[in-house]
Amino acid sequence: MIKITTIPGDGIGKEVISSGIAILENLDLNMDFKEAAAGEECFKKTGTTIPEETIKMAKNADATLFGANTSVPGEKSPILTLRQSLDLYANIRPVKSYAGVNSLFDNVNFIIVRENTEGLYCQVESLLDDKTIAQRRITRKASERISNSAFKIAKHYKKETVTCVHKSNVLKKTDGIFKDSFYKIAKNYPNIKTNDFYVDAMAMYLVTNPEKFDVIVSTNLFGDILSDEAAGLVGGLGLLPSGNLGDKKGLFEGVHGSAPDIAGKNIANPIATILSIAMMLDFLKEDYYGNKIKTSVENILKQGKIKTPDLGGKNTTKEMTEAIINEINSL
């Protein structure tokens, strides 16, 4: 029995997780789903954005599926708390062009590997009179392990080059360590090419030559910002999946947020979650089903008959989900 904790959260999180469960229930797998609360709605009901019980349920599951959460001013972000509590230090975000999708580029295929536990996401900020300070913690340990994840991914997917993105000309100590750690770990992978760019230059290269990149490793905030830019290259956030991985645990979520403007309308694109489920199944060593899901999504996008509004169509979340289920069953 595979134990899955689901955390739908807020906004479109509920709709896309319900699509995700429909996809999983259709597979010939023995799975048990337990739902846990987190986010703005949970805060209104319980006074906390992430109850201890939710963290416990994520720790006890074989994998966790996360929808999205709306941030509550002054309160902890549930997703950051989960990443830190479960030490899910690697945020893996594959970015790919799909045939049939109207996008800026049709030849993109890279993976962003984002450090997930420190940087500006420590959630340590202070206010003294009119002076505010945010802590940007970068350690050798976390920098080396995320570089190692990036090289392992490059090796696994037979990618040629790993690119380190930083701003060490300004953040000399913090990003100095990040860059040094990258080149230290690179020595263990002599067959993989390396290069590094400042984040501002990288922001430009992604819109001029995105096809040149294979695996990109960066700190927490830079990795997040580049992910949204990358989504813009290939058709939007509705298509970008992600996995938050530690040494033992995995939590999977679309890169998008809770999108309150379209929540509850049955028009959110479920593909980011469905592709995150494919990543989850690979993580659970059920890659036969993971591959089936990926192929089905590719086929549906290529056929172009069913499109949610973000892809230029008028179909609903449920219609897209049903089309992908039918495609899976036809393979």
**Residue numbers of the site for ligand GGG (CB under 6 A)?**
79, 224, 228, 237, 255-257
CA 189 to chain centroid, in Å, comes to 25
Task: Tell me which H or E stretch contains 110.
Answer: strand 109-115
**CA distance to 13, 105, 278, 308, per residue, from 238 (Å):** 12, 16, 15, 9
CB of 196 or CB of 224, closer to ligand GGG:
224
CB of 120 or CB of 311, closer to ligand GGG:
120
Cα–Cα distance measured from residue 183 to residue 92, given in angstroms and rounded to the nearest whole number? 20
Burial (CB < 10 A; 0-12, 13-18, 19+), residue 68, is buried
Cα–Cα distance measured from residue 23 to residue 292, given in angstroms and rounded to the nearest whole number? 11
CB of 255 or CB of 268, closer to ligand GGG:
255
Active site residues: 121, 167, 200, 224, 228
CB of 175 or CB of 224, closer to ligand GGG:
224
How near is the Cβ of 319 to ligand GGG at its closest, in Å? 24
Retrieve residue 62's tokens.
């074989």
How near is the Cβ of 79 to ligand GGG at its closest, in Å? 5
How near is the Cβ of 259 to ligand GGG at its closest, in Å? 8
Cα–Cα distance measured from residue 9 to residue 32, given in angstroms and rounded to the nearest whole number? 19
Using alpha carbons, select from 83, 86, 92 the residue that is nearest to residue 60: 86
How near is the Cβ of 164 to ligand GGG at its closest, in Å? 20
